[in-house]
Amino acid sequence: MGLNDQWMQRDLAVLWHPCTQMKDHEQLPLVPIKRGEGVWLEDFEGKRYLDAVSSWWVNVFGHANPRINQRIKDQVDQLEHVILAGFSHQPVIELSERLVKLTPEGLTRCFYADNGSSCIEVALKMSFHYWLNRGMPAKKRFVTLSNSYHGETIAAMSVGDVALFTETYKALLLDTIKVPSPDCYLRPEGVSWEEHSRLMFAHMEQTLAEHHQDVAAVIIEPLIQGAGGMRMYHPVYLKLLREACDRYGVHLIHDEIAVGFGRTGTMFACEQAGIRPDFLCLSKALTGGYLPLAACLTTDDVYNAFYDDYPTLRAFLHSHSYTGNPLACAAALATLDIFEQDNVIESNRALATRMAKATAHLVDHPNVAEVRQTGMVLAIEMVQDKASKTPYPWQERRGLKVFQHALERGALLRPLGSVVYFLPPYVITPEQIDFLAEVASEGIDIATRSSITVPVSGRYPNFRDPG
């Protein structure tokens, strides 16, 4: 038995993996990773895999980045953790100062959590509690887009719309309002992204007009709906939504957990519409992919609604044990240093152009409906029929064939159902992008050429594997 097999057997004896039907691993071997460097992950037998999905969208400057490593090493010798209630520390103060300076003007307060889902919970609770403190307790519902995903804790699931995640727990979820997504994949032929996004905003306008007295906030993933299949839309929707939220007296929550920190071509997606949300949720790339940390940024108006004498019970009594952990804050500070010193956003534009060029040939593939891109995210949607965009039944797991082929070739490409996507670390080279395009093309050919017969039911018709 090889080293990989040994570690795999030890793993399967004790672990329960996330987003996984564990029975799959009776046929699909786990890949135990020993070390990482740059865009590469290496298993216990020396095989390397190019991390095309940034290890679940978190890693931006490569594995074992020496600058981030050193910052964490320096911090661990000084302070590993301290309670953030009644105490503070240098890394969390410096990080907060820099985030306030870096994000759109008016976001002046940072509240920390441990992960993306927890950050969403913070924003939802803050918005509801704000209206309660302002004497408007009826404003307690949330508006969200169809095909959206905001995490897997109860309230975060409530404002999501991926049935495979939510249907089982329906009895536990909040009563939210779903509005059709501006997803431009679904636009009629000949209609531009901007025109379609404007047209789709009519649904949001009508919803807010009818329900604003009961609505605390609208929550969206700006520009890209990640777990929904990397579906994309035009920034004009964000501008229209900001204007409508202002008119109707409703908060706007931007979930930039996946798309923040340069992923869409600007530091934050909201910049492309020239707007500022009332709550900006950040995580994933915040620490360069090193440690769990999330930040919910909000305004002085929100902060002041909670600022009062203790007996009024207006305080936001929400906490996590590891809130503002110094090691995670140190990693985040090192990550922001790299953004500041290395002209990352500009460099990414060249890499994004290379991704477009390397995959341009797939536009003509008979089983590719669309190759779409926003910044450093590129998605290739496989379909049964190109003309009608008829999807493959999700039960056929076509994307799994791409994943398996990529592993054989030395790449980590984990599709979202039938959507193959690139979301690589920013340290990837043009040549490595070309390699990923080659591997993806081969995998798509393999996945689409064969006829697969599996039982197909009508359950979760729009399901996409969570990737």
In angstroms, the CA 94 to CA 39 distance is 29
Secondary structure class of 237 (helix, strand, coil): helix
CB 354 within 8 A of CB 329: no
| Topology of the domain comprising 67-342 | Aspartate Aminotransferase; domain 2 (3.40.640)
Does residue 182 contact residue 237 with C-beta atoms inside 8 Å? yes
The answer to whether 371 and 378 have CB atoms below 8 angstroms apart is: yes
Q: Give the annotated binding-site residues for substrate.
A: 56, 149, 284, 319, 414
Instruction: Decide which of 3.40.50.10260, 3.90.1150.10, 3.30.1330.40, 3.40.50.300 is the CATH code for 31-64+344-448.
Output: 3.90.1150.10
Q: Residue ranges for the binding site for pyridoxal 5'-phosphate?
A: 116-117, 255, 320-321
**Residues placed in the known binding site:** 56, 116-117, 149, 255, 284, 319-321, 414
31-64+344-448 matches 67-342 in fold: no
Residuewise pLDDT in 10s, the chain (467 residues)? 899 999 999 999 999 999 999 999 999 999 999 999 999 999 999 999 999 999 999 999 999 999 999 999 999 999 999 999 999 999 999 999 999 999 999 999 999 999 999 999 999 999 999 999 999 999 999 999 999 999 999 999 999 998 888 999 999 999 999 999 999 999 999 999 999 999 999 999 999 999 999 999 999 999 999 999 999 999 999 999 999 999 999 999 999 999 999 999 999 999 999 999 999 999 999 999 999 999 999 999 999 999 999 999 999 999 999 999 999 999 999 999 999 999 999 999 999 999 999 999 999 999 999 999 999 999 999 999 999 999 999 899 999 999 999 999 999 999 999 999 999 999 999 999 999 999 999 999 999 997 766 666 666 666 666 66
Contacts of 175 (CB under 8 A, 6+ apart): 141
Q: Where are the domains of the chain?
A: 31-64+344-448, 67-342
* CA–CA distance, 366 with 187 (Å, rounded to integer): 20
